[in-house]
């Protein structure tokens, strides 16, 4: 729509103090809302493992203790949820996807896409280009503390430059794919890629 319709009488209650520029349609929040399609699974780290899969081959599988022993990285980043909240300067710790590839002896990703599989049946698809080069990690700590179950603990994907549904909670398996396939939300009306700066919320955006 070229001519925006001014909403008579609508005034911003925000933007009072040089707020950081947000992606279009987003607003700032200071708490950490929870969005999930179903119940939060009850996962004990003693029973937990995470695997990296290429076709029928398991490239790696780590128990909790093994995963904790991998190189750890801490990042500070803004996160953007498709439901329109943005949270600034969140601090995460985990294993970068680059380090995970190194650990299994891969110099370069074998496929161009990946599907993340999670407890509870959730999936999300991502291009490899968005996971490497320090752009993504498997996070196990938030603000210095173990990741709470409601926020995806014990481990979630963190791909902060895309809408937050791509940062799949309760991550258990990463599967390389030669061709892109839609994941859970991507099959249910949400955008296949999800760039907040281009406001790719829904299919066709």
Partner 1 sequence: MTAIDAPQLRSRIEWQIGRVQAIVAETSRVKSIVLQPTRWPGHRPGQHVDIRLTADGGYRAERSYSIASPPAEHLITLTVERIEDGEVSSYLLDELQIGDPLEFRGPIGGHFIWNQAANRPLCLVAGGSGITPLMAMLRHRRASRDPIPASLIYSVRSLDDIIYRDELDAMTDGDADLRLVYALTRACPGNWSGHRGRIDQLLLAESSFAREENPLFFVCGPTGFVESISSKLVKLGFDPLAIKTERFGPSGE
Positions touching partner 1 (CB under 8 A) are 1, 4-15, 24-31, 33-42, 83-85, 120-121, 150, 179-180, 182, 184-185, 187-190, 192, 201-205
The residues pairing with 127 across neighbouring beta strands, listed in sequence order, are 113
Give me the numbers of helices (H) and strands (E) for the chain, helices first please: 2, 11
Nearer to partner 1, 42 or 65 (CB): 42
> Cα Rg for the chain, rounded, in angstroms?
18
- Residue 44, Cβ density class (10 Å: 0-12 exposed, 13-18 middle, ≥19 buried): exposed
Closest approach, Cβ 15 to partner 1, in A, equals 7
Closest approach, Cβ 204 to partner 1, in A, equals 4
Nearer to partner 1, 87 or 135 (CB): 87
Q: Which residues 6+ apart lie within 8 Å of 132 measured at CB?
A: 97, 98, 101, 109
Q: Which residues 6+ apart lie within 8 Å of 38 measured at CB?
A: 120
The residues pairing with 96 across neighbouring beta strands, listed in sequence order, are 137
Q: How far out from the chain centre does Cα 52 lie? A: 17
Closest approach, Cβ 35 to partner 1, in A, equals 6
Nearer to partner 1, 96 or 172 (CB): 172
Closest approach, Cβ 201 to partner 1, in A, equals 8
**Which pair of structure tokens corresponds to residue 184?**
């859970």
Nearer to partner 1, 92 or 165 (CB): 165
Closest approach, Cβ 89 to partner 1, in A, equals 16
Residue among 176, 36, 201 nearest 116 (CA) = 176
Nearer to partner 1, 67 or 122 (CB): 122
């Amino acid at each position: 729509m070229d001519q925006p319709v001014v909403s008579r009488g609508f005034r911003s209650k925000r933007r009072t103090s040089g707020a950081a520029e947000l992606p279009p349609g987003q607003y700032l929040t200071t708490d950490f809302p929870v969005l999930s399609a179903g119940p939060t699974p009850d996962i004990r780290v003693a029973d937990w493992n995470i695997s990296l899969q290429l076709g029928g081959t398991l490239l790696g599988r780590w128990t909790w203790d093994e995963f904790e022993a991998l190189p750890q990285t801490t990042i500070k980043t803004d996160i953007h949820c498709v439901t329109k909240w943005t949270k600034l300067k969140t601090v995460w710790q985990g294993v970068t996807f680059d380090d995970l590839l190194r650990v299994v002896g891969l110099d370069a990703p074998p496929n161009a896409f990946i599907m993340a599989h999670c407890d509870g049946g959730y999936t999300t698809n991502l291009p490899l280009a968005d996971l490497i080069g320090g752009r993504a990690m498997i996070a196990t700590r938030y603000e210095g503390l173990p990741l709470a179950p409601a926020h995806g603990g014990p481990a979630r994907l963190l791909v902060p430059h895309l809408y937050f549904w791509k940062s799949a909670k309760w991550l258990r398996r990463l599967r390389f794919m030669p061709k892109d396939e839609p994941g859970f939300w991507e099959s249910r009306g949400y955008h296949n890629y999800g760039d907040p700066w281009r406001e790719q919320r829904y299919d066709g955006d």
